[in-house]
A = this chain, B = another copy of it.
Amino acid sequence: MPLPSVMVAPRDKSQTSLHDLLRPGQERRLRRALTRLDEVQLASQLDNLGTDEQIRVLGLLPGDRRAPVLSRMRYEAAATLVTALAPEQAAALVDALHPDDAVDILGRVDEQLLAQILARLDRDDAEELEELLAYDEHTAGGIMSPNFLTVPPDETVAQALGRLQALAEVPTHVFYVYVVDGDGKLVGVCSLRELVIHRPHERVRDFMQAEVVSVRAETDQEEVADIVSRYDLVALPVVDAQHVLIGVIEVDDVVDVIREEATEDILKMAGAGEELAEARLFWTSLRARWRWLMAAAAGGTIAAASLSGFDAALSRAPALALFMPVVAGMGGNIGMQSSTIVVRGLAVGFLESARVRRLVAREVGLGASLGLIYGVLIGLFAVLLGADASEPWRLGVVVAGGCTGSMTLAALVGTSTPLVLDRLGVDPAIATGPFVTTSVDVMGLLFYFYLAQQLLGLGAA
């Protein structure tokens, strides 16, 4: 979350690869590249290097560039790098970071190293970091910065500007001055622009905005992102239970949160865990995926067990089996489409109660229409393929009906499952997928075989 003032040309996709320059004999070219690349470019390359290479690159950088580069790396990668350094070096680096970046990184190193690093910092700095580390990293407290500028309401513009000029530890972006009373309670806000356009002797309280959007430290970061995005804020103050100002969340951290939450939703929906995990965390990934697959396996075995009643039908018309994948697959696809629309709609607040009924009706209508169209097409294909069966036309009708029914059911299940889960307080992103996939498979195929029994005149076993 560092200085916006270090601005260089946007990243060039064809930029020199440090990985190549780290080979022996490339030292001069490596040094030149390090001078030419900006912090963001260096950080994104470091993210993808091995620890030894990272340490070598860091060692070649001038001291004052190291912390800015570190703060722009992915937090996990930065934490791994910090862990590999000697505690003295790690502490020196952490000391040069903005506190909110330091917390993001230190929250990912082990307890013992954390204690060693904190012991080497100024007592005040260490205490500040410990306080911030106590907040859950997914809450407002976990992403706020403790650096902000406050003024009492009775100060004049000249006094407030004086404070700004005297500021020792400069926050990343100073765009607002927060007005707090004698107890530290947040009573107003004014932008730097307002300070600049008012006369030096005017009092802050006379032109400050007295109504300020703020959140509590324990507010979930997803809600923080939602508020910042709805109110178009660039900074959001954080207060405690007594409305005392304790931190400020800056928009660039919210941008990270929004990306992170979107990734989480996408991965959760595919049952692939919640984070783009590091390559080494094999077991973590295995565990994360385990549950979702469990649901699919259970669904598959339930399907097998339910269909076993149709054994006789299958042996008399084995062509039925050929179209099981397409009947189940078409249902699964449309179910996934419907449920994705609903899950994402709920996540971005697009779905308010007023339009829910319309949405369900529309999705089921879409499912039935698409089901009919594709059912007929696939049914015709079945007639052709099953030409050697005794009654190809009946097979075609069964396949067409099976597809249509499976797709209509799937749209209904896909739309209503996340809505019901949401109302029950269960995260629809995580629970919708397995349930929809499983139930759509079972229901669609049972319908298909039921239809076959009726239309092909096959008795159950």
Contacts and interface: CB of A to CB of B under 8 A. Distances in A.
A138 B252 CA distance: 21
Interface in A1-41: 1-2, 4-11, 19, 40
Contacts of A49: 354
A441 B370 CA distance: 21
Interface string A222-259: 00000111111110000000000000000110111011
Interface stretch (A83-91, A107-115, A210-218, A419-427): A210-218
A460 interface: no
Contacts of A48: 352, 354-355
Contact of A173 (B175, B215, B349, B352): B175
Contacts of A445: 325
A45 B172 CA distance: 35
Contact of A232 (B1, B276, B307, B382): B1
Interface stretch (A58-66, A117-125, A285-293): A285-293
B11 A230 contact: yes
A147 interface: no
Contact of A212 (B7, B232, B272): B7
A255 B262 contact: no
Contacts of A173: 175, 191, 234
Given A255-B251, A271-B333, A297-B378, A8 B304 contact: no
Interface in A256-293: 256, 258-259, 262-263, 265-267, 269-272, 276, 279, 282, 285-286, 289-290, 292-293
A116 interface: no
Contacts of A352: 44-45, 47-48
Interface string A309-324: 0010011001111111
Contact of A5 (B209, B318, B340, B365): B209
Contact of A321 (B2, B7, B307, B348): B307
Interface string A321-344: 111111111101110111111001
B191 A300 contact: no
For this complex, into which size category does the number of interface residues on chain A fall?
Answer: 35 or more
B271 A262 contact: no
Q: Does more than half of chain A's interface fall in helix, strand or loop, or is it mixed?
A: helix
Copies in the complex: 2
B230 A270 contact: no
B271 A344 contact: no
A150 interface: no
B175 A192 contact: yes
B334 A322 contact: no
A117 B195 CA distance: 37
A344 to B, nearest CB: 5
Contact of A174 (B172, B193, B358): B193
A193 B252 CA distance: 18
Contacts of A337: 270-272, 289, 292
A428 interface: no
Given A165-B196, A230-B44, A262-B259, A326 B345 contact: no
B271 A269 contact: no
Nearest to A251: B251
Contact of A325 (B191, B227, B328): B328
A72 interface: yes
Contact of A172 (B229, B232, B276, B437): B232
Interface in A165-220: 165, 170, 172-175, 189, 191-197, 209, 211-215
13 contacts: A7-B212, A10-B213, A192-B192, A232-B252, A270-B339, A285-B366, A289-B337, A292-B333, A297-B326, A303-B322, A307-B321, A308-B322, A315-B318
